[in-house]
Amino acid sequence: MLEIQRMTPRVGAIATGIDVRAMDDQTFDTLYQTWLDCNVLVVRGQELQMDEFLAYSRRFGLVDPHPSISTRHPDCPEITLLGVNKFNTDGKLNMSIYRRGGHSWHTDGAYDQVPFKATQLYAVAIPSRGGDTLFASMYAAYDALPTALKSSIEGRLGAFVYGGRDRDNSLLNPEDRDKAPALHPLVRAHSETGRKALYFDPGKILRIEGMKPEESDELIDQLTEHMIEAGSEYRHQWQKGDIVIWDNRCSYHKAAADYPPDEDRIHWRVSIKELQGR
Ligand SMILES: O=C(O)CCC(=O)C(=O)O
Ligand SMILES: [Fe+2]
């Protein structure tokens, strides 16, 4: 029987007692609502083949292949492999793979005109220590912004690209590195809950539209300082067989990227976009 435990007052819930391969619509609706309420949903103890993981993922929306072509599963473009091919041919640790998602707090897909609604990971191999994923709420970040900062971003658009101002886009194929920035409101209402969120990503934002470069950089620094509201964080310690889905419209995340490099930490990952309605 489905049991749900909230992990912190704002972010994170863990569901147990279900098999996602055989879940009726009513149970799924409960999970989905929990996910909207808690922004991050963990389902524990699943044993899945790739097609089963994809079928479950499609219940949340449209599964879209990630722009990093080199890290897609060779037989299944919708699935990105995390933690695979970690060592270069010269034996050196490839930091773009080892530290993927670990450079800064971020939201996935802000470089797309239609950003990812959700990202979902399935834990295939887990190291003996480290390798957690950290989450925090964009709603809490917005609510806690000082009034002056709230007014300076109201109605403003951010311009986002893969790699941001540092242009760290080594996981993209060279021909995919020059896409035009995508523009999104920095105060962005969630399409399903209607709640306002601070939609921001210091590693993808290029500039804030309509501002001088120095002003834009200054505001980006201030938002970076305010994006994580103490008390809105959840740190997920992985178990093999966990499925974790996070809502990119209202949460930030970051990989701890601190596990022993000679151990495996492998996830299947999907990016999910909105379908009409939800
Ligand atoms: O590996 C992780 O813990 C998260 C990586 C990440 O940022 C992502 O998959 O979007
Ligand atoms: Fe990410």
Q: Between vectors from CA 15 to CA 10 and to CA 18, what angle results, nearest 5°?
A: 160
Q: What is the DSSP string of 139-176?
A: HHHHHHS-HHHHHHHTT-EEEE-TTGGGT--TTS-GGG
Integer Cα distance of 114 and 274 in angstroms? 8
In this structure, of 2-6, 31-35, 67-71, 118-122, the range with the lowest mean pLDDT score is 67-71
Confidence of residue 56 (pLDDT cuts 50, 70, 90): very high
CA of 212 to the centre of ligand 1 (A): 33
| Residue 53 predicted with pLDDT over 90 | yes
Q: Which of 190, 231, 240, 246 is nearest to 42 (CA)?
A: 246
pLDDT value, residue 141: 98
Q: What is the pLDDT of residues 126-159, one digit of tens each?
A: 999 999 999 999 999 999 999 999 999 999 999 9
Ligand 1: which of 243, 269, 271, 272 to mutate, most ligand atoms within 8 Å of CB? 269
CA of 61 to the centre of ligand 2 (A): 18
Cα–Cα distance list, 43 to 49, 53, 118, 163, 215 (Å): 15, 12, 15, 31, 43
Q: What is the pLDDT of residues 171-230, one digit of tens each?
A: 878 887 878 999 999 999 999 999 999 999 999 999 999 999 999 999 999 999 999 999
| Residue 18 predicted with pLDDT over 80 | yes
Q: Whose CA is nearest to atom 1 of ligand 1?
A: 255
CA of 214 to the centre of ligand 1 (A): 31
Cβ–ligand 1 distance for 133 under 6 Å, the answer: yes
Cα four-point dihedral sign 227, 233, 234, 235: positive
| Residue 167 predicted with pLDDT over 90 | no
Integer Cα distance of 48 and 242 in angstroms? 10
Q: Containing H/E element for 190?
A: none
- Residue 35 in contact with residue 41, Cβ under 8 Å? yes
**Atom in ligand 1 nearest the alpha carbon of residue 132:** 3
Proportion of the chain above pLDDT 90, given as a percent: 91
- Residue 238 in contact with residue 126, Cβ under 8 Å? yes
pLDDT value, residue 120: 98
Of the two residues 165 and 3, the one the predictor is more confident about is: 3
Quote the pTM value. Answer: 0.96
Q: What is the DSSP string of 196-250?
A: EEE---TTTEEEETTS-HHHHHHHHHHHHHHSS-TT-EEEEPP-TT-EEEEETTT
Q: pLDDT averaged over the chain?
A: 96
Ligand 1: which of 40, 80, 100 to mutate, most ligand atoms within 8 Å of CB? 100
pLDDT value, residue 277: 55
Report residue 22 as tokens. 């055989």
Integer Cα distance of 142 and 145 in angstroms? 5
Q: What is the pLDDT of residues 90-115, one digit of tens each?
A: 999 999 999 999 999 999 999 999 99
Cα–Cα distance list, 112 to 88, 117, 161, 271, 273 (Å): 29, 11, 8, 12, 11
Integer Cα distance of 251 and 107 in angstroms? 7
All domains of the chain, ordered by start, with CATH?
3-273 (3.60.130.10)
Which ligand sits closest to the CA of 255?
1
| Residue 170 predicted with pLDDT over 90 | no
Counting runs of H as helices and runs of E as strands, what totals does the chain give? 6, 17
- Residue 159 in contact with residue 183, Cβ under 8 Å? yes
CA of 115 to the centre of ligand 1 (A): 16
CA of 106 to the centre of ligand 2 (A): 6
Integer Cα distance of 3 and 241 in angstroms? 17
Which ligand sits closest to the CA of 272?
1
Integer Cα distance of 121 and 4 in angstroms? 19
Cβ–ligand 1 distance for 253 under 6 Å, the answer: yes
pLDDT, average across residues 9-16: 97
